[in-house]
Amino acid sequence: MALVTMGPMLKRARTKGYGIAAYNMIDYNSARAIVEGACALDAPIIVQVSVKTVKHWGYKPIALWVRELSASVDIPVALHLDHCTDLDVLRRCVDAGWTSVMFDGSSLPFAENLEKSLKAYEMTQEARVGLEAEIGAIGGVEDDKHINEDDARLANFDECVRFVRDMPNLAVFAPAIGTAHGVYKGEAKIAYDLLERITNAIDIPIALHGGTGLTEQQFHRCIAGGCAKVNISTMHKILFINSFVALKQEKPKLEEPLAFIARQNEEMKEDVMTVIGVLGSSGKAGDALQSIIAGK
């Protein structure tokens, strides 16, 4: 089926209490593993792309790959741009066929973040593309952005309310609640109380960034607290490389590239399926589709 926008299905996921996985693709093979993993479990899925990856492959190839993958399955697939700080890049993705985008103005002062997010909001509303925006500073490394532990900043509750009031139709909102990008050193310290306050005040699904390394219990608590979009990137990157290395170590004489690509696909797909199982979105493709048809 055609690519879908993520807003209605995330709203439905929040209402029904499950999470939709948003996996960062690296290339065609990884995008295929993401869609195939979701398809095997009849789950809705978000394929997301970092700005760095978009610039590496180009706008059109990525849009074409994911559109083709989506066309061959019956589950809802959204193509999302992750952590974009540049409105021109965002515009080009919208023009190339992305169905949802994130504008990340979190490193800007509040007023400037709001102003630029509103520009992104206008752009996406016109094109009927879903928008994600961020408040606070999510720690760790994402693309070329490095935020160390000391600079990571939880979202300010009042700012969250003001921000969302001006963008009533945000598809998903990403307040920093203590999770971080990359690999956690200890257990992630999630500010559940803040998540609860935000969820009670704002009727918009929440995005959980830094999903790699969270425990099953943490996922469940965050989903129960209003998180509907669950981002996974680091684990996918680790498997992308380690699957190649492991196969070469097992069979040093193997030189057929397709065997490595098949192994990579298999391992990434398995991870996607495990995560979908934990998030509770197995078998929810039909439910998500109904929300899209209903437009809410």
DSSP state string for 63-108: HHHHHHHHHT-SS-EEEEEEEE--HHHHHHHHHHT-SEEEE--TTS
Q: Is 82 a catalytic residue?
A: yes
Task: Return the number of other C-beta atoms located less than 10 Å from residue 234's C-beta.
Answer: 20
Which residue's CB atom is positioned nearest to Zn ion? 209
Segment contacting Zn ion by CB under 5 A, of 39-47, 48-56, 155-163, 206-214: 206-214
Q: Considering the complex, state which of residue 145 and residue 197 has its C-beta at the smaller distance from Zn ion.
A: 145
**Which of 27, 42, 82, 158 does the annotation list as catalytic?**
82
Does the footprint of Zn ion cover residue 229 (CB under 5 A)? no
Category of 137 on φ-ψ map: left (φ > 0), alpha (ψ -120 to 50) or beta: beta
CB of 42 to Zn ion, least distance (A): 26
Q: Considering the complex, state which of residue 33 and residue 232 has its C-beta at the smaller distance from Zn ion.
A: 232
CB of 6 to Zn ion, least distance (A): 15
CB of 210 to Zn ion, least distance (A): 6
Q: Considering the complex, state which of residue 209 and residue 263 has its C-beta at the smaller distance from Zn ion.
A: 209
Does the footprint of Zn ion cover residue 209 (CB under 5 A)? yes
CB of 142 to Zn ion, least distance (A): 5
If we measure between CA atoms, which residue out of 85, 32, 64 comes closest to residue 236?
A: 32
Q: What's at 7, amino acid-wise?
A: G
Q: Considering the complex, state which of residue 36 and residue 136 has its C-beta at the smaller distance from Zn ion.
A: 136
Q: What's at 39, amino acid-wise?
A: C
Does the footprint of Zn ion cover residue 12 (CB under 5 A)? no
Inter-residue contact 50 to 142 (CB < 8 Å): yes
CB of 82 to Zn ion, least distance (A): 6
Task: Return the number of other C-beta atoms located less than 10 Å from residue 201's C-beta.
Answer: 13
Beta bridge partners of 48: 24, 80
Query: Which token pair is 296?
Result: 């809410």
Q: Considering the complex, state which of residue 209 and residue 284 has its C-beta at the smaller distance from Zn ion.
A: 209
Query: How many residues bind Zn ion, per CB under 5 A?
Result: 1
Instruction: Kindly give the residue spans of alpha helices, DSSP state H, lying in 136-281.
Output: 157-165, 192-201, 216-224, 234-250, 257-279
Q: Which residues are near Zn ion by CB under 5 A?
A: 209
User: Catalytic site residues?
Assistant: 82
